Amino acid sequence: MFEEIMAQARSTYSLKRRSDVVPKPSKRAKSTTTTSTTSRSNRVSPTTLTNNKTPTTRLEVYVFGEGSAGELGLGPKNATDVVRPQLNTLLDADKVGVVDIAAGGMHAVALTHDGHVLTWGVNDNYALGRETAWDGGVRDIAEGGDASEDESEDGELNPYESTPTAIPAGNFGKETRIVQVTAGDSATFAITEKGFVYGWGTFASNEGKNGFYWDQKQNQVIEKQSKPMLIPGLENIVQISAGYNFCLALNSAGKVYSWGMSEQNQLGRRLLLGRKFSTNVKQEDLDKLHLRVGLVPGLVPFSSRTNIVSIHAGSDHAFAIDQKGDTWAWGLNNFGQTGSRVGAGVNGTTVTAPQKVPSLVGRNMKMIQGGTHHSIGVTQAGECLVWGRMDGAQMGIDLKTLPLDDPHLIVSERGKPRILLEPTALPISGCSFVAAGSDHNILVTSDGKAYSWGFNANYQCGQGKVEDDFVVATLIDGPAVRGKKLTWAGAGGQYSMVAGPAI
C-alpha cells in the first residue's frame, strides 16, 4: 500500500490555509507530551534482568485535527483539516499491525507487531529518523475558504513525510527488538527488548539553539541526529517518556534518568560541570556548557527509600509516581501545573527538584499528562483529575459555575478564573487513559468511550464542529468510532489520535 501511494506523488502541490481561525503555525510549533500505549504500572525488582516484552494487541488508529504537515499519516492526499475521527487505513491492523504509538508535536511514531518503527509528520529536525527528501517543490499557499469535512483541497503533501514509513531496521543494530516508543517536539526515542534506548531528532532551547547529545570525550555536541543512535549511559530501561524538549527514562531498579534542555528545571537535577570544563571559563561559555551537560542522561535525585514505578513527562514539567502511589513533580510551575501552589501565577516559577505533590498524596495516581500550562491525570480508582491553567478551556469545567472566592482558584485582573490550584475531579466515572495536547485534552473511559475539550481551532477535539473551544468534556461521537472500544489517546500540538483493539 505504501508503494502505491508513493507512486502517485506529483511534482507540485498546493495547500489551503485556514486564515480566518488562527495564523498558520511554523513547522516547529509547540508540541504536546506523549504517553505511548505501553506503560509500567507494577514495581520491578532491582535484581530482575531486563527483558521488556513487546505489546501484542493490534490497534485500529483514528486521527483528526490539522494535518497540513503530514502529522495525521493519511498520505499525500485529503490529509488536512479532519474534523472528526477518521480511520487511518495506512495503519491497517491486519496488514501493518500497530501495537504501540505516540504523538509528538507535529510528528508521530508507531511500533508494529513485527518490530518495525514507523514515523510520519514534520522532519525538519530529523524527528522521523529517516530520509524524506522529495523533489515535489515548494507548496503554494492558497488563501480563503473552509475545508469540507474530513477532506483537504486537491493539493498534495510530501509523500515521504505524510505516509507512515518504517525506519530501516539496520539503523537499530543487528537483532535489536524495539518494544516501546515515545515522541517529543522534535525528538523520538525507542526502548529495546534488553533495556537500551535509541533516539533521533533534536532538542531546542528557548533561544532556538539545538542539541541532541554531548560527547564529552570529544567535547562535541551532536546538534541534530538524523538516524537512530544508541544513547550512552542508559541500561535496563523499562519506560521512556518525552516532553517538549527533554526526555525521561525509568530503569528496572526504579531510578529515573533525565536529559535534554533544562531552562525550566524540567530535568529535575543539578547540572554539574567538571573542573576540566569549568576552569577559567567566561559566563557566556558556562551557559553553553550547562546546555551541553543537560544533553547527557543523569539521575534525577530521589531518596533511597523511594522507588519510582512510572514516569510522565509534561511539556516543561514532569511527574513520577512511586511505589506507594504518591506523585512527585518538578519543572515549570508558573500556572501551578506541577500541582504545587508555591509560585503559581508568577512568571518563570519552577520547581528545581522532585517534590512530593501534597494535593495528590493518597490519590494513588495511575498516570499523568501535561500540556503547555496544565496537567491531567487518572487515579487507580478511575477518577480524572485536572489542574493548572484554565482560562483557555483546558480544565473541561464551565468557569461560570465556579465562585470567584474559591480558595482553590487564582483569578485574573479581569475577574475571571485563571488557575485551578487543586486537582479537581471531572464528573465522568470509569476513566482509564488521558492525553494532553498544548491546550486540549482527550479522556478515554473503561467502557471504550472518548471525551475531548479545550482549544479546537484546528479540529483537534474531533467534535466535527467549527468551534474555537470546547469548554466542558464532550463525548467524541463520530461515525468511525461509534460503537468502538477505545483504549488509548494521543494529543499533538494541533492534531489528535485515538486507538483501540482491532475486532
- Answer positive or negative: Cα dihedral of 219, 225, 229, 230: positive
Amino acid, res. 424: T
Return the percentage of the chain with pLDDT > 90, whole number: 74
Cα 164 to Cα 172: distance, rounded to the nearest angstrom: 18
Q: What is the mean pLDDT of residues 36-46?
A: 46
CA distance 452 to 470: 8
pLDDT of res. 356: 97
pTM above 0.85, yes or no: yes
pLDDT bracket for residue 369 (50, 70, 90): very high
Rounded mean pLDDT, 486-495 = 97
Specify the pLDDT at position 167.
Answer: 98
Nearest to 242 by CA among 170, 329, 318: 318
Average pLDDT score over residue span 24-40: 47
pLDDT recorded at residue 41:
42
Q: What integer pLDDT is reported at residue 227 of this predicted model?
A: 98
Tell me the C-alpha to C-alpha distance, in Å, between residue 99 and each of 12, 106, 117, 166.
34, 21, 10, 14
**Concatenated DSSP letters for 293-340?**
HHTS-EEPP--TT--EEEEEE-SSEEEEEETTS-EEEEEE-TTSTTS-
- Least confident range from 48-52, 96-100, 120-124, 310-314: namely 48-52
CATH label of the domain that carries residue 426: 2.130.10.30
In the DSSP assignment, the letter for residue 205 is -
**Residue 366 Rama label (left phi>0; alpha psi -120 to 50; beta):** alpha
pLDDT, residue 216, reads 84
Query: How many domains does the chain contain in total?
Result: 1
Beta strands in 39-106 (DSSP E): 59-65, 82-87, 98-103
Span 215-231, average pLDDT: 93
What is the band of 494 on the pLDDT scale with cuts at 50, 70, 90? very high
71-80, 191-200, 258-267: range with lowest mean pLDDT: 71-80
Q: Give the pairing of strands 14-16 and 140-142.
A: parallel
pLDDT of 162-192, one tens digit each? 999 999 999 998 889 999 999 999 999 999 9
Residue 25 φ/ψ, nearest 5 degrees: -75, 160
- % of residues, the chain, pLDDT over 70: 83
| 443 compared with 80, residue with greater pLDDT | 443
Q: What does the alpha-carbon distance between residue 130 and residue 19 come to, in Å, rounded to a whole number?
A: 32
Mean pLDDT score across all residues of the chain = 87
pLDDT of residue 287: 65
Q: Give the domain range for residue 345.
A: 2-501
Residue range 352-366: mean pLDDT, rounded: 96
Residue, of 503 and 345, whose pLDDT is higher = 345
Assess whether pLDDT exceeds 90 at residue 405: no
Average pLDDT of 481-495? 97
> From the CB of residue 298, how many other CB atoms can be counted at a distance below 10 Å?
19
Per-residue confidence (pLDDT) for residue 137, from 0 to 100: 54
User: Please, are residues 419 and 399 in contact by the beta-carbon 8 Å criterion?
Assistant: no
What pLDDT, on the 0 to 100 scale, is given for residue 142? 43
Whole-angstrom CA distances from 370 to 189, 212, 229 are: 18, 22, 27
Residue 29 is predicted with a pLDDT of 45
Coil vs helix vs strand at 285? helix
DSSP secondary structure letters along 430-488: SEEEEEE-SSEEEEEETTS-EEEEEE-TTSTT--SS--SEEEEEEE---TTTTT----E
